[in-house]
Amino acid sequence: MYLDGKEYKELSCFFTEQLQIEKTLELIKSIIFALGACGNVDAVEPLLNIKSILLRSAVKSAVLKIQSRLGPTEKGSLSISGINTEAGSLSIMDYDLGSLSIKDKNE
């Protein structure tokens, strides 16, 4: 989305498409890093679809960077559990990838 304050939608699209092509672990990690720098909201779902435990930290970092550029999200937004979630947001649990939970109002 933004790289050095400039918008680069085409870069976000390019790197998101590259995630779909089979690559080496090191190259995928570089693509994830690039999406952290220029990815937009459309890049979040493909990032979260990455199942490799070895890439989990890189994915979380990239999603956090994208979210920080988007600002606060509305209830019902998709987020990673334990990373600045808002009450009522839909979360993916770290310990059981693919699980969903709804944060209890009383927590």
pLDDT of residue 1: 43
Say whether both 65 and 32 belong to one domain: yes
Average pLDDT of the segment spanning 30-50: 93
Does 75 have pLDDT greater than 60?
no
Does 53 have pLDDT greater than 60?
yes
Say whether both 18 and 58 belong to one domain: yes
Q: How many domains does the chain have?
A: 2
Say whether both 91 and 67 belong to one domain: no
Mean pLDDT of the chain: 75
CA distance 96 to 75: 22
Say whether both 3 and 49 belong to one domain: yes
The pTM (predicted TM-score) of the whole model is 0.64
pLDDT of residue 35: 93
Say whether both 65 and 78 belong to one domain: no
Contact 76, 90 (CB under 8 A): yes
Average pLDDT of the segment spanning 87-103: 51
Q: Is 26 exposed, middle or buried (0-12, 13-18, 19+ CB in 10 A)?
A: exposed
Which structural domain range is residue 99 located in? 73-107
Tokens, residue 11: 């870069």
Say whether both 62 and 14 belong to one domain: yes
pLDDT of residue 58: 96
